[in-house]
Chain A
Amino acid sequence: GNSVTQMEGPVTLSEEAFLTINCTYTATGYPSLFWYVQYPGEGLQLLLKATKADDKGSNKGFEATYRKETTSFHLEKGSVQVSDSAVYFCALRKAAGNKLTFGGGTRVLVKP
């Protein structure tokens, strides 16, 4: 079956540090890949997405590249802010309207 594995947190960083959250997936074919973010006390929001190999998704300074050869979709940001403190979820979808399969989530805490 499909699965998503992401690094366990929490990840604690200082402001302006570089952030990387690893995500790898197992799926047949060519799934679409997503990063969602959940700020404290809120629901999930889409952060970025990519639908085919070598696509790069980007938003709010975050980037992730769809790597078919390593089945990975690592999330990066060059300079984090306190407001980036949240739980980040990597997810995949095999077909339109199909369910999202989520990784376990990575809690990120950015300290001033």
Chain B
Amino acid sequence: DTAVSQTPKYLVTQMGNDKSIKCEQNLGHDTMYWYKQDSKKFLKIMFSYNNKELIINETVPNRFSPKSPDKAHLNLHINSLELGDSAVYFCASSPYERSLLNTEAFFGQGTRLTVV
């Protein structure tokens, strides 16, 4: 069974459209993340949710709105898409137990978004 799954895997859309990327994890983790990977492979955190509450919101345009209906899901909605939004978006999850400092994050396969 896939631990962290994202849909769609590929998304091609026109400028100005609104699109969503869905993410689900079946690991029972409390914390979920969205990362953006640009064309040079640089990875940067966008958002982090813990038990459906936003805990990290980096300097991301407010056209990007994460939504967490429950702790197993963290969807990313993007309004008014721009050419510069083209990237690979990765969802990830990890436990939040403070005693487990060495816990890694588990990543989805990524969604390649191309804005034309």
Q: In whole angstroms, how far apart are the Cα atoms of A100 and B48 in the complex?
A: 10
Residues in A neighbouring B105, C-beta threshold 8 A: 100
Q: In whole angstroms, how far apart are the Cα atoms of A36 and B105 in the complex?
A: 10
Contact across chains for A43 and B108 when beta carbons are under 8 A apart: yes
Supposing A95-B98, A96-B100 touch, asked if A44 and B90 sit within 8 A by C-beta, the answer is: yes
Task: Mark A65-102 against chain B: 1 for CB-CB distance below 8 A, else 0.
Answer: 00000000000000000000001010001011111111
Contact of B43 among A96, A98, A102 (CB under 8 A): A102
Residues in B neighbouring A89, C-beta threshold 8 A: 43
The residues in A between 16 and 70 inclusive whose CB is less than 8 angstroms from any CB of B are 32, 34, 36, 38, 42-46, 49-51
Q: Which residue of B lies closest to A99 (CB)?
A: B45
Q: In whole angstroms, how far apart are the Cα atoms of A105 and B50 in the complex?
A: 27
Q: Which residue of B lies closest to A33 (CB)?
A: B102
Contact across chains for A87 and B41 when beta carbons are under 8 A apart: yes
Residue from A38, A46, A87, A99 with most neighbouring chain B CB atoms (10 Å) = A99
Residue from B30, B106, B107 with most neighbouring chain A CB atoms (10 Å) = B107
Contact across chains for A104 and B40 when beta carbons are under 8 A apart: yes
Q: In whole angstroms, how far apart are the Cα atoms of A100 and B105 in the complex?
A: 8
Contact across chains for B107 and A44 when beta carbons are under 8 A apart: yes
Q: In whole angstroms, how far apart are the Cα atoms of A55 and B33 in the complex?
A: 27
Supposing A32-B102, A49-B102, A51-B101 touch, asked if A43 and B109 sit within 8 A by C-beta, the answer is: yes
Supposing A104-B40, A105-B42 touch, asked if A95 and B110 sit within 8 A by C-beta, the answer is: no
Q: In whole angstroms, how far apart are the Cα atoms of A33 and B96 in the complex?
A: 17
B85 to chain A, nearest CB (A): 19
Q: Which residue of A lies closest to B6 (CB)?
A: A43
A-B contacts, 23 of them at CB < 8 A, read: A32-B102, A42-B109, A43-B107, A43-B108, A43-B109, A43-B110, A44-B43, A44-B92, A46-B106, A49-B102, A50-B102, A51-B102, A95-B101, A96-B94, A96-B95, A96-B98, A97-B50, A97-B96, A99-B45, A99-B56, A100-B105, A101-B45, A105-B41
